[in-house]
Amino acid sequence: MDRRKLGNFFVRISLAIVFLVAGLGKVVYKAAVPSIDRVITFLPAETSSLVLGGVELLIALLLILGLWTRVAGWAAAILLACFLIAGSVLGMFVAAGLLKDIALLGAALYLGLVGARSFAIDARMPKE
pTM for the model: 0.85
Instruction: Give pLDDT, residue 17.
Output: 97
State whether the Cα torsion 6-12-15-16 is positive or negative.
Answer: negative
Residue 91: C-alpha distances to residues 33, 34, 78, 81, 102 (Å): 15, 12, 20, 15, 16
pLDDT in tens, 14-60: 999 999 999 998 888 776 666 566 666 656 667 778 888 899 999 99
